Amino acid sequence: METRQVTEVRVYYLILNPVTGKANERKIAAMSYDREKLEYWVDMLKEPESYKDGGFLKRFRKDSPLEMFNSWIGSGLGILDDWVPIERFESYRIMHNEIPFIE
């Protein structure tokens, strides 16, 4: 019998709906190893009031990484977590370096 040990890391994903997408579209908008840091980052990018820009109703600061996302409302959106083998996650981060990683 062969065995192996796998080191896993808990990753938090911010799942949002793009303002240009369909209502049920889900996309990873940011990732972190720390839920509190991710929540703080999101809160820092929220505008106190929604605003119109280019025909879209926006909730996050202009020119921020979240500008083109809707704030989460409903199931399947928000911060979700998963345990992932660290090697696989590091490869994913490299392949998708356009997704902000909050440390």
User: DSSP string spanning 16-31?
Assistant: EEETTS-TT--EEEEE
71-102 residue pLDDT tens: 776 555 689 999 999 888 888 888 888 999 99
Reported confidence tier of residue 54, pLDDT bands at 50, 70, 90: confident
pTM, two decimal places: 0.85
Reported confidence tier of residue 26, pLDDT bands at 50, 70, 90: confident
pLDDT at 73: 63
Rounded to 5 degrees, what angle do the CA atoms 98, 59, 43 make?
Answer: 75
Give the integer Cα–Cα distance in Å for 11 and 32. 6
Give the integer Cα–Cα distance in Å for 82 and 93. 15
- Lowest average pLDDT, out of 7-11, 19-23, 41-45, goes to 19-23
Share of the chain above pLDDT 90, in %: 54
Nearest one of 24, 28, 35, 30 to 73, comparing CA atoms: 24
